[in-house]
């Protein structure tokens, strides 16, 4: 699989370039000092990650050409419907971002965590969970397999807040992955000192997935006893300033979340300038203090996606695994048809995957990576979505 389409650079304006994909233009941030007009690039999440020659790009473009226009037509037809709130959000998504859709991979490299978030199955006090850690070499090998054999161009490295991994170890992993492979590497490792994030930026990481979880400071205090709301928000802002693409958001249906808080959650995601909205339904885990709380309905979760799309028409909105978990059959499809335009595939080695139990019965846990990829590709084709970059 190579689920990305290269584009041609048609304008350069300092660090912002315009890239054209079959007539559609998107802006992207560029760090290549020698990039020239007319050259071809891969971009991910609005960042140019790889330059390529015309000789390399043209056969890829040729192989996509016919399919791209077919997909575009399917999307145009499907976005004509504007009866329900979900349809309206889908039409807005189509109007602002066309049929672009990104597919990122996620590698969950440790389920140890020093924190006790009330909602999470990885919390320190959950003694029933079997803990695992991947060593640096194994993280690098898993990432390289995802890049070279499975065709991923954007990867998230995620873990509990696990101080076993020193800044040196994380730097080594990021450097080794990035030295051979031009990808968008996103860190989801919780609250680490800003100096650690600076070092990892230097090593080549360019994205951070760090949710603020709830915009309500009181609810935050209850849900994340070891963490401070203001400090987490400040960290997100500092990381953005440092140059990281920010993936952030909240939990939908967290006990205590009112309608008013939900709207504020969406607004805060927007005002933090999220490069990717990452929010999904809360699913209770039996070995947590919230075991008896109910999960939100699929409609509540879809409603949040649709409202986020209407509040922030140009947002990149991830349809999360939790969404796919509350409706195994159709969660991904419904999310993409209610304003979502991004998906994540779980690339954690199968022997560990079931132990990364933030909530039970996660979608994709028992499905081989190849099958997950095929299912996603089939779904995106049915919905008329193409892997052109979503831009900035
Ligand atoms: N430890 C890091 C952190 O908290 O930022 C990254 C890993 S953490 C498992 C990733 C995300 O999982 C959290 O931001 C949280 O929103 C989500 N999560 C945790 N427990 C969940 C649950 N019961 N249902 C849905 N999502 C959950
Ligand atoms: Fe740890 Fe993150 Fe889970 Fe909180 S949400 S317990 S920080 S893994």
**What is residue 387's predicted lDDT score, i.e. its pLDDT?**
82
Task: Tell me the average pLDDT across 7-35.
Answer: 93
What is d(CA 137, CA 173) in angstroms, rounded to the nearest whole number? Answer: 7
Cα–Cα distances (Å) from 11 to 35, 40, 54, 230, in that order, read 11, 12, 17, 39
Asked whether the CA dihedral 165, 168, 171, 173 is positive or negative, the reply is: negative
**What is residue 2's predicted lDDT score, i.e. its pLDDT?**
45
pLDDT at 376 over 70: yes
Q: Which of 361-367's residues contact partners 24+ apart within 8 Å by CB, and which partners?
A: 361/325, 362/321, 362/322, 362/325, 363/321, 363/324, 363/325, 363/328, 363/331, 364/321, 364/324
Ligand 1 center–CA 135 separation, angstroms: 22
What is d(CA 2, CA 188) in angstroms, rounded to the nearest whole number? Answer: 24
Ligand that lies nearest to the alpha carbon of residue 248, given by its number in the listed order: 1
Ligand 1 center–CA 273 separation, angstroms: 20
Ligand 1 center–CA 6 separation, angstroms: 33
| Structure confidence by residue, pLDDT tens digits, 77-125 | 999 988 899 999 999 999 999 999 989 999 999 999 999 999 999 999 9
Task: Tell me the average pLDDT across 289-314.
Answer: 95
Ligand that lies nearest to the alpha carbon of residue 295, given by its number in the listed order: 1
What are 338's two structure tokens? 């209610």
pLDDT at 383 over 90: yes
Task: Tell me the average pLDDT across 324-346.
Answer: 93
Ligand that lies nearest to the alpha carbon of residue 358, given by its number in the listed order: 1
**What is residue 1's predicted lDDT score, i.e. its pLDDT?**
42
- Tell whether ligand 1 has an atom less than 6 A from the beta carbon of residue 161: yes
| Structure confidence by residue, pLDDT tens digits, 145-164 | 999 999 899 999 999 999 99
Task: Tell me the average pLDDT across 255-264.
Answer: 96
Ligand 2 center–CA 118 separation, angstroms: 9
- Which of 120, 125, 165 has most ligand 2 atoms within 8 Å of its beta carbon, as the pocket-test mutant? 120
Bridge partners of 47?
A: 29, 44
Contact present, 336 and 319 (Cβ < 8 Å): yes
- Tell whether ligand 1 has an atom less than 6 A from the beta carbon of residue 17: no
Nearest atom, ligand 1, residue 115 CA: 1
Nearest atom, ligand 1, residue 160 CA: 1
Q: Which residue's CA is minimally distant from atom 19 of ligand 1?
A: 120
State the number of CA atoms in the 13 A half-sphere of 20 facing the CB.
10
What is d(CA 169, CA 181) in angstroms, rounded to the nearest whole number? Answer: 18
Nearest atom, ligand 2, residue 191 CA: 7
Confidence of residue 382 (pLDDT cuts 50, 70, 90): very high
What is d(CA 26, CA 43) in angstroms, rounded to the nearest whole number? Answer: 10
State the number of CA atoms in the 13 A half-sphere of 261 facing the CB.
19
- Tell whether ligand 1 has an atom less than 6 A from the beta carbon of residue 249: no
Within 6 A (CB) of ligand 2 lie: 113, 115, 117, 120, 122-123, 160-161, 190
| 224 Cβ neighbours under 8 A, 6+ residues apart | 115, 117, 118, 213
| H-helix or E-strand spanning residue 291 | none
- Tell whether ligand 1 has an atom less than 6 A from the beta carbon of residue 296: no
Task: Tell me the average pLDDT across 186-205.
Answer: 98
- Tell whether ligand 1 has an atom less than 6 A from the beta carbon of residue 359: yes
């Amino acid at each position: 699989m190579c689920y990305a389409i290269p584009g041609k650079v048609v304008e350069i304006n300092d660090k912002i370039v315009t890239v054209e994909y079959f007539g559609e233009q998107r802006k992207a941030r560029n760090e290549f000092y020698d990039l020239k007009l007319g050259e071809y690039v891969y971009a991910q999440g609005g960042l140019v990650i790889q330059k390529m020659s015309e000789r390399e790009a043209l056969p890829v473009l040729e192989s996509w050409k016919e399919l791209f226009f077919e997909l575009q037509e399917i999307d145009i037809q499907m976005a004509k419907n504007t009866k329900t709130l979900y349809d309206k959000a889908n039409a807005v998504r189509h109007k602002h971002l066309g049929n672009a859709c990104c597919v990122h991979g996620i590698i969950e490299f440790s389920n140890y965590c020093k924190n006790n978030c009330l909602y999470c199955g990885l919390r320190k006090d959950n003694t029933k969970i079997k803990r695992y850690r991947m060593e640096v070499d194994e993280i690098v090998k898993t990432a390289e397999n995802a890049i070279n054999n499975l065709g991923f161009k954007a990867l998230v490295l995620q873990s509990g807040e696990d101080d076993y991994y020193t800044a040196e170890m994380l730097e080594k992993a990021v450097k080794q992955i990035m030295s051979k492979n031009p990808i968008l590497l996103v860190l989801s490792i919780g609250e680490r000192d800003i100096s650690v994030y600076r070092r990892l930026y230097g090593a080549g990481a360019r994205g951070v997935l760090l949710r603020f979880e709830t915009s309500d400071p009181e609810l935050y205090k209850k849900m994340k006893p070891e963490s401070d709301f203001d400090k987490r928000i400040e960290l997100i802002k500092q990381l953005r300033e440092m140059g990281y693409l920010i993936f952030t958001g909240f939990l939908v249906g967290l006990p205590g979340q009112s309608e008013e808080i939900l709207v504020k959650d969406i607004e805060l995601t927007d005002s933090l300038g999220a490069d990717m909205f990452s929010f999904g339904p809360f699913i209770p885990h039996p070995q947590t203090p919230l075991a008896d709380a109910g999960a939100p309905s699929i409609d509540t979760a879809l409603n949040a996606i649709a409202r986020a799309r209407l509040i922030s028409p140009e947002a990149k909105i991830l349809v999360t695994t939790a969404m796919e978990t509350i409706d195994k059959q159709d969660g991904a499809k419904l999310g993409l048809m209610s304003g979502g335009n991004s998906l994540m595939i779980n690339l954690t080695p199968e022997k560990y995957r079931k132990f990364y139990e933030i909530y039970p019965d996660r979608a994709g846990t028992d499905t081989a990576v190849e099958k997950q990829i095929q299912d996603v590709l089939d779904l995106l084709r049915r919905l008329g979505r193409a892997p052109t970059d979503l831009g900035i």
